[in-house]
Every structure is written in structure tokens, then in C-alpha cells.
Structure 1
Amino acid sequence: MPAPIVAVSPDYRTPPSVITAIIGISAVASLFLAWLVYYHPPVDVAGTHLAFLPALDAVLNALCAFFLVLGFRYIRRRQITAHRNSMFGAFIVSSVFLVAYIVNHILHGDMLFPRAYPIARFIYLWILLTPHILLAVVCLPMILITFFLSLTGRFPAHRRLARWTYPIWLYVSVSGVIVYAMLASYR
């Protein structure tokens, strides 16, 4: 049985220390991921161990996008409990994605797009990958703060931030699937 949905007084402010902590944790996580992707030498250079992880990441991104769209649909219909469950589904799937992504990069390192396809590589790098990475970095603290606001009953603030978080999170999830599909099709 889900916890009852209770709003706090509109006068109750979100503690700045919580927001600062969420942003700090997100910054450390982003720096760790940047180090992992760009500087950490892969453990399994041959790519034989857990070779299914990139495909799993794409499936998890697609599932996240599905839950996000479902959650948006539910909130538009004022089905609060179904919305909440869908958003928890998106959060859980994204969390599992992050673990699989980290393990994949520890083992295999970063997958580079082949230079033999310059037009496709340009599309991959500048249209998909660059905004995907930048928005993923921005999205992490937004997701955590949006969840914090909801879980603590600060629904007006939750709604205001969710209007920005939702499209960015959805873009990152969908573009993650496209990035995988492009890498897989040109390898």
C-alpha cells in the first residue's frame, strides 16, 4: 500500500542544505562518470565479459521513457497514485541503468563511433551525444530534487520543477536508445 499523499504547508520552505547536498552528490557522481568514461582504462579490453550490458542499457532507457510517458499521461488524468508508481518505475529503471552503465564502462571503457562514416559520426557527436551528455549531467540533480519535493509533500514546487525535469529526462532516455542504436549499427 503506497504512503498517503500529504501536502505540507505552502509556507514551509525547502531546506537549502538538502538542495545543496543533492547538487553536491550529483556533481561528484558526474565527475566520477567523466573520469570513468574518459580516463579509466578498461578492465576487459576484448569486451568478452558481460558484453550484453550496452544492449541492456538501451532497454533500460527505453523502459524509463515508457514509464515517464505513462506517468505524464496519468498526471494529466489526475491519477496521482498511478503517476507516482510510474515515476518510481522510471526512477528504479534509471538507477539500474546507472549501475549497468558504470559496470559496462569499468569493464569495456567508452565505445567510440567509427571515423569511416563521417556524416553519421557528425550526427552522433553533435546532435545526439553532446546534448545527451550535457542534459544527463543537468538532469540528475533535477530528478533527485523533483523526487525530494514530491516525497516531502511540496507539490507546488514539485510541479514547477517537474515541468522542466520531465522533458529533459525523457530526451536523455530516448537519445540514449538512439546513441546505442547508432553505435550498434555502425560497428
Structure 2
Amino acid sequence: MENSNLEKKFKTPIILVSIIIPVAVVLLFSIRLKDFGINVAPLSFLPPIYATINGITAALLVSAVVAIKKGNRAVHEKLMTSAIVCSVVFLLMYVAYHMTADPTKFGGEGAIKYVYFFLLLTHIALSVTIIPLVLFTYVKALAGQFDNHKKLAKITFPLWLYVAVTGVVVYLMIAPYYAN
């Protein structure tokens, strides 16, 4: 398939996925399985796992940039694909946890509360923004449009890294307040 056709082929699906995922997360986030008579124990073991996956994603992203700067495209491709897979696994675990557990309120007070909410809000906003950026950046690489890929990756990389790192930080900040 011609490179420009590849981009055209994926444009609409990327836009749809970029809309559907955040909407689905918001809807699923507000649903508790117990409200439908489905008795599932809260998956309270998941938050440290998905926080770790965010940390792994951050490490994969940094490693991928190092690999491409060293000219190792094959390693870069594998690391980036792994980062996407980790992000999908994170999302599935995140939704599963929130469908089985009651929300946890942050209990910090004073300035730390404002830091937490700033990090949380920017993390959430950028996690929505990053979806189309990651997918379009990936498709540009698949299409062999490496100059355009590189230009978009210069925007995508720091935002995605911020989302991954703040995911870990937000978890560490709220972890003491999870119900045991």
C-alpha cells in the first residue's frame, strides 16, 4: 500500500478511537459492577500494578529515544510498540479497577493537595490528548514518513512521558488513602 494511502486509511479510525476511548473511560469509570448485581470483589491489587506499568512505559519511551539517537531503528520500533502495548494494558486495568472499587479521595491537606490536583488534572487532560498523537506518530513511521514522524514525535514524546511519569506520581500520592 502506498504510504499516503496508509495514512488516509488510518485517519478516520484514529480519530474515532481518540474520541471513543475517553468517552468509554468516563462512562465505564462511573459504572460499578455491583450496581448491576455483579458481585465482584474490588480489584484492589491493580493500582500498584498499573502504576508500575506506567513506570515501565516511561522507561520504554526513554529507551526508545536513546535507541533511535544511536541509529538503532529496529530496537526503537520494538520499544515503541511495547510502550503502546503497556499503555493499552494500563487502560484495561485502570478501567477494571474503577468498575469494581469505590473512588478513593485524596486526603492530603495544604499545598500538597493543590500539587496533587494539578498533577492529576494535567495527567488526565494530556492522557486524552496523547491518544491521537501516539497513533498518528506511529502511523507516520509505518508509512515510512520518517521526517514527519520525527517532527510529530518531538511533540508526542514529552507529553507521553509526562503522562506516564505523572501516572506513577499520582498513584504514589494517593496510595496511602486507598481502603485496605
- TM-score, structure 1 normalization: 0.83
Of 56, 62, 82, the residue aligned with 2:75 is: 82
1:109 and 1:186, CA in 2 relative to 1: closer, same or farther beyond 3 A? closer
1:110 and 1:141, CA in 2 relative to 1: closer, same or farther beyond 3 A? farther
Aligned twin of 2:16: 24
Q: Hey, which of these two has a bigger chunk of helix by percent?
A: 2
Kindly state the Cα deviation for residue 24 of structure 1 after the two structures are TM-superposed: 1.9
Kindly state the Cα deviation for residue 104 of structure 1 after the two structures are TM-superposed: 0.8
Equivalent pair of 1:40/1:109 in contact (CA under 8 Å): no
Is the aligned partner of 1:100 residue 2:93?
yes
Give distance in 2, aligned partners of 1:70 and 1:17: 30
Equivalent pair of 1:42/1:109 in contact (CA under 8 Å): no
Aligned twin of 1:5: none
Aligned twin of 1:4: none
Q: Runs of 5+ in structure 2 lacking a partner? A: none
CA RMSD in angstroms, aligned pairs only = 2.3
Kindly state the Cα deviation for residue 119 of structure 1 after the two structures are TM-superposed: 2.5
- Alignment coverage as a number of residue pairs: 174
Give distance in 1, aligned partners of 2:45 and 2:175: 12
Is the aligned partner of 1:169 residue 2:166?
no
Equivalent pair of 1:149/1:158 in contact (CA under 8 Å): yes
Kindly state the Cα deviation for residue 48 of structure 1 after the two structures are TM-superposed: 4.6
Equivalent pair of 1:64/1:94 in contact (CA under 8 Å): yes
Q: Match of 2:87, as an amino acid?
A: S
Give distance in 1, aligned partners of 2:80 and 2:140: 13
Q: Match of 2:34, as an amino acid?
A: V
The percentage of aligned residue pairs carrying the same residue is 32
Matches within 5 A, 1:49-64: 49-64=42-57
SS of the residue aligned with 2:106? coil
Relative to structure 2, which stretch is displaced further, 101-110 or 15-24?
15-24
SS of the residue aligned with 2:34? coil
- TM-score, structure 2 normalization: 0.86
Give distance in 2, aligned partners of 1:110 and 1:165: 30
Q: Match of 2:53, as an amino acid?
A: L
Kindly state the Cα deviation for residue 70 of structure 1 after the two structures are TM-superposed: 0.2
Equivalent pair of 1:74/1:80 in contact (CA under 8 Å): yes
